[in-house]
Each structure stands twice: as structure tokens, then as C-alpha cells.
């Protein structure tokens, strides 16, 4: 399976990501009737519509206006606002919003979900040619319609604005129910796949490799009834099927299906970053860390369940992590040095530094400067001043049974249609199945059923059995490093080569996942 994925309130570009963490801000690409992207060139503030894929120059930040729910601003990757001057020229040179930079969104009535952008000041519609942008049309024709490609974030949580609940797979795994208070586990992960060849519509793809039909059932194949157009409403997303009906949670089970012809809060959704959820095995006794016994955080379980899975939440000011339990409490350093699930995010004693090691393990440095150590009883205490086996834990990323990897150059995918060699500059992604092995090792498997193999410096997906293992190292909420078991990291080059690199973590690529 391949596709392209969606993101709200963020971007595939690191600089834009930090800027766009605001309600109602989308990062998008705009595709004209000739299937070319609106582009802001790096030099000279030149504008055109000749981009062939969604990369940095084709990214636009959609910012809401206070003057109406469909009035927006468009800001380029250079931080400049798209505007129309009094002579009708389309410019992108100002860092300030003004009357000429306001555009009104109109949705095509043909069910395609395409947008027309009418400049509020001039009253004309925005169009694009390979050489420039124009705003001279009084009425909308094919040249003034744009398909909206929401910028790539591989996997997200889907939250209903009306119900204030998150979507998840039903227990029977044949429907999506929108009734989860917290997005916990892989069943709450969804990918909105952009289908450029289907008129720029989207398919909602679940973690069990199925697609949502507008009738509320999950299908193995993506059919016409599994495709939806994306609409912007006051900073939120509405998904409209080919019959003109909108998705919403229906009934006591909150089954996600199409019903209404109009948009209310029930038809609105936000797509939120899926935070990493992980389990840890103590190197001392090979037991999973758990809160099953109560508030004590103890390495004493043989299997993974909800009590052995913890959500990692990054504190950007402290550059440390908080570990949240399914009971909505946080690991916390107690007065006696023990670790108990009694804290909250605002407490410094609930923040830990993650220190990664070459053997695939990780250590937790607590607020007292010492590392968490496993006692013979399994209890964790922040007493170790050095990193020994008692202070090491093996890390498993639980809520990513499928990975999608992206870097500055693009997605990780196959070099060519019939190739098993991976590159990292692709416009579309390939899904990567993750299989857990012992001591933090994972094996990666392609959609062809073959395993990853280190081939020279590159990666080939052609092994019948697991050959080369890898470790995942969490760097930021949406970024990981990938280390081979011989201590080298996976890196990206500017020409799109996906390869093993020599040197330490400084030379590694932080992969968006």
C-alpha cells in the first residue's frame, strides 16, 4: 500500500512545524487543474504553478481570519503572505497581513471538494499558470479551482469537535467509534490518504489496513464510497462523501458514517498528533515496567497491557519527558527516591531525560540528577549515579505497528516500481510493518512480505526471514532515530539516498514518523 498522508496544525518542515501549532492553522499544498502545485520560489519572491510534488516550496500555511469562517490568509514557506495589489498583481513579499491578503474559500458544488479562492479586496478569483499566479477571473472556471493537499504527517488521532471524543476501531474491528476520552493505543491511529488520481479526495485508512466506507463499515479495498473531499470550517475539518453527505458520529455507539447534508459541530473534526506510547523492559530482570499493582512503578510483568504502556509527552521548555499512565497519572519522583504514578505534568519531579545507549537500551535521568535503577523487588528508585545494567531499560514503541518515515527530502519508499531498494525522496510513502524481537530490537517488513536487509550502505527489502535488527530512539514527539544493531544510524542525503551512516547520533537523520 502506498499513499500520501495528512496533517493539521503542523508541517513536514521543521521550521513550519514550530510556527503552526495554533488552532485552525493548516499546512497545505494547492494543486491546479493541470495537476501542478502552487509554488513560492526561494529567490525573488517569484510565484508559479509548476510544482510536480509537495515539497518545501509548495507548502502554504493557511491562517484563519477573524472576519468570517471561510476567510483565510496564505503564508509561504518564506514567511510572506500571498496578496493581490490594487492593480491585480499577485504578490508574496509582505510579512504583514493586509486587506489584499484575505481570500474567501468557496467549495465546488460537483462533489470534488476543490476550492476556489476569491480575493476579498479585489473580488476576483485566484488562478495559476506554469509561469505565474493571476487574479483576474470574475467567475470560477477550471483554471480557478484548486485541490487541497494537506501536508504530510503520517499518522494522527481523529477528534470530534461536537462529541469531544476521539475515534478508535470498534472491538469487532469493522467500524470506527468516536467515544474514546484519551487516544490510547494503535486502534486510535488513522491516516488520511491523499488520492491525487481520484480528484484530490481522501481515504480514511485504519491501523488494521482497512478503509472507511461512507456507510460506516470498514472495507479491505478503497472504493468510490471510501473517498471524501476535505472542507475547511473555522479551522476544523469536514469530510464529504460523493453523495454530498458529511461524516459524523451517529447514535449511542458514535459510529462514524455519512448522514447530514449540512455542517454543524457534529460534522467537524480536528486531526491531532499521535503522541508516542511505549513499553519498557528492565535489563536487570527482563520484566515489563508496570503500574498494575497501584501507584508504584515496578518492573514485574511478563506481558504488555494497558498498565504496561505509557504515553511520552515532551516538555519543550525543559527538553525532558513526562510519562503518562492510562489512569491519567504521571511517573513522579517521590521524597524517598522511589517512582510512583502520582504526579502531574506541571511538576518538575515528573520530568525525565532519556539517555540512549548503543545496545538499544535507554536510561531515565530524574530531577535529582540520578538514574532510575531497578531493585530486586522490581521497584524503581532514582538512586544510580552511573549507568549500569540496573539503570537500563529496553524500549518498544507500542502504538506504531506500522511506520511511515519522512525526512526533508520526502518519504521513504522504493526507488522504482519493481525495485526492492529504498530511497527517502519519494512523494508517496510505503508502509513499514514493525515486528518486535528481544532486548528492544525490531525488524522491519515491507508490503511485499520481505524483511529489510542492510545491503552495503543501503537498505534492500528482499530478505525472507528477519536478518538485520534495528533500535528505535525517540528524539522529539514526532521524530525518531533508527540505529542498526551494529551501532550505526540510518541517514538521508540530499539526493535522496537512504543509507547507513558512520559516526554518532549527530550524523543521524531524525525521521518524522
How far apart CA 83 and CA 362 sit, in angstroms, is 50
Last residue of a domain, one of 397, 429, 456: 397
pLDDT at 62: 93
Residues 369 and 347 in one domain: yes
Residues 137 and 176 in one domain: no
pLDDT at 417: 81
Q: Is residue 3 part of a domain?
A: no
Residues 230 and 356 in one domain: no
Confidence of residue 23 (pLDDT cuts 50, 70, 90): low
Assess contact for 272 and 156: CB atoms under 8 A.
yes
Q: What are phi and psi of 101, to 5 degrees?
A: -105, 10
How far apart CA 407 and CA 413 sit, in angstroms, is 12
CATH number, domain with residue 507: 2.80.10.50
How far apart CA 440 and CA 359 sit, in angstroms, is 9
Residues 422 and 324 in one domain: no
Last residue of a domain, one of 397, 419, 442: 397
Q: Is residue 1 part of a domain?
A: no
Work out the average pLDDT over 395-400.
92
Name the residue with higher pLDDT: 494 or 460: 460
Residues 330 and 393 in one domain: yes
Asked if residue 288 has pLDDT above 90, the reply is yes
pLDDT in tens, 473-497: 999 888 999 999 999 999 998 888 8
How many CB atoms lie under 10 A from the CB of residue 87?
Answer: 6
Asked if residue 13 has pLDDT above 60, the reply is no
Q: Is residue 489 part of a domain?
A: yes
Domain residues for 483? 402-512
Beta bridge partners of 154: none
Asked if residue 183 has pLDDT above 70, the reply is yes
Q: Is residue 4 part of a domain?
A: no
- Residue 416: C-alpha distances to residues 261, 374, 413 (Å): 42, 48, 9
pLDDT at 195: 85
pLDDT at 292: 94
Residues 487 and 362 in one domain: no
Asked if residue 126 has pLDDT above 90, the reply is yes
pLDDT at 153: 65
Q: Is residue 453 part of a domain?
A: yes
Residues 281 and 269 in one domain: no
How far apart CA 167 and CA 206 sit, in angstroms, is 11
Residues 496 and 384 in one domain: no
Residues 332 and 256 in one domain: no
Residues 323 and 226 in one domain: no
Q: Is residue 256 part of a domain?
A: yes
Q: Is residue 445 part of a domain?
A: yes
How far apart CA 161 and CA 488 sit, in angstroms, is 44
Report the number of distinct structural domains present in the chain: 4
Residues 284 and 350 in one domain: yes
Asked if residue 9 has pLDDT above 70, the reply is no
Residue-averaged pLDDT of the chain: 89
Confidence of residue 86 (pLDDT cuts 50, 70, 90): confident
Residues 494 and 427 in one domain: yes
Asked if residue 10 has pLDDT above 50, the reply is no
Radius of gyration of the chain measured on its C-alpha atoms: 24
Last residue of a domain, one of 273, 297, 326: 273
Amino acid at each position: 500500500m502506498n499513499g500520501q498522508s495528512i496533517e493539521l496544525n503542523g508541517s513536514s518542515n521543521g521550521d513550519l512545524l514550530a510556527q503552526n501549532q495554533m488552532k485552525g492553522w493548516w499546512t497545505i499544498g494547492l494543486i491546479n487543474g493541470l495537476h501542478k502545485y502552487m509554488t513560492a520560489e526561494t529567490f525573488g519572491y517569484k510565484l508559479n504553478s509548476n510544482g510536480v510534488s509537495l515539497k518545501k516550496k509548495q507548502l502554504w500555511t493557511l491562517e484563519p481570519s477573524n472576519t468570517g469562517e471561510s476567510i483565510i490568509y496564505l503564508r509561504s514557506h518564506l514567511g510572506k503572505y500571498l496578496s493581490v495589489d490594487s492593480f491585480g498583481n499577485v504578490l508574496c513579499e509582505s510579512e504583514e497581513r493586509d486587506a489584499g491578503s484575505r481570500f474567501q474559500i468557496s467549495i465546488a458544488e460537483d462533489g470534488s471538494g476543490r476550492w476556489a479562492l476569491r480575493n476579498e479586496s479585489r473580488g476576483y478569483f485566484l488562478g495559476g499558470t506554469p509561469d505565474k499566479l493571476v487574479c483576474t477571473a470574475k467567475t470560477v472556471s477550471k483554471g480557478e479551482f484548486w485541490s487541497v493537499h494537506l501536508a504530510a504527517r503520517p499518522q494522527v488521532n481523529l477528534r470530534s469537535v461536537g462529541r469531544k471524543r476521539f475515534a478508535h476501531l470498534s472491538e469487532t474491528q469493522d467500524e470506527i467509534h468516536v467515544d474514546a476520552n484519551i487516544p490510547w493505543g494503535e486502534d486510535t491511529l488513522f491516516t488520511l490518504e491523499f488520492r491525487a488520481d481520484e480528484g484530490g479526495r481522501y481515504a480514511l485508512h485504519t491501523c488494521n489496513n482497512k478503509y472507511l466506507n461512507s456507510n460506516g463499515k470498514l472495507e479491505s479495498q478503497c472504493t468510490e464510497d471510501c473517498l471524501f473531499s476535505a472542507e475547511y470550517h473555522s479551522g476544523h475539518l469536514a469530510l464529504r462523501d460523493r453523495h454530498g453527505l458529511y461524516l459524523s458520529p451517529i447514535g449511542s455507539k458514535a459510529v462514524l458514517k455519512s448522514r447530514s447534508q449540512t455542517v454543524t459541530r457534529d460534522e467537524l473534526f480536528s486531526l491531532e498528533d499521535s503522541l508516542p506510547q511505549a513499553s519498557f523492559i528492565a535489563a536487570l530482570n527482563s520484566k515489563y515496567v508496570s503500574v498494575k499493582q497501584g501507584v508504584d512503578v515496578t518492573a514485574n510483568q511478563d506481558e504488555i497491557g494497558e498498565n504496561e504502556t505509557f504515553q511520552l509527552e515532551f516538555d519543550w521548555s525543559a527538553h525532558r519527558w513526562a510519562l503518562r499512565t492510562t489512569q491519567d497519572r504521571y511517573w513522579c519522583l517521590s521524597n524517598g527516591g522511589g517512582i510512583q504514578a502520582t504526579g502531574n505534568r506541571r511538576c518538575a519531579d515528573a520530568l525525565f531525560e532519556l539517555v540512549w545507549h548503543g545496545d538499544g537500551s535507554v536510561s531515565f535521568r530524574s530531577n535529582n540528577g540520578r538514574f532510575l535503577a531497578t531493585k530486586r523487588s522490581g521497584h524503581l528508585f532514582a538512586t544510580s549515579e552511573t549507568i549500569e545494567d540496573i539503570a537500563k531499560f529496553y524500549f518498544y514503541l507500542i502504538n506504531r505497528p506500522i511506520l511511515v518515515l519522512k525526512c526533508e527530502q520526502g518519504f521513504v519508499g522504493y526507488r522504482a516500481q519493481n525495485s526492492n531498494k529504498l530511497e527517502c525522496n519519494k512523494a508517496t510513502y510505503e508502509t513499514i510493518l514493525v515486528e518486535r524481537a528481544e532486548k528492544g530490537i525490531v525488524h522491519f517488513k515491507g508490503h511485499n512480505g520481505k524483511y529489510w536487509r542492510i545491503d552495503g550502505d543501503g537498505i534492500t527489502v528482499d530478505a525472507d526471514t528477519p536478518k538485520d535488527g534495528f533500535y528505535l530512539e525517540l528524539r522529539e514527539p514526532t521524530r525518531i532515530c533508527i540505529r542498526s544493531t551494529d551501532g550505526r544510524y540510518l541517514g538521508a542525503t540530499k539526493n535522496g539516498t537512504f543509507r547507513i551512516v558512520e559516526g554518532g547520533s549527530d550524523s543521524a537523520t531524525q525521521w518524522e514518523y
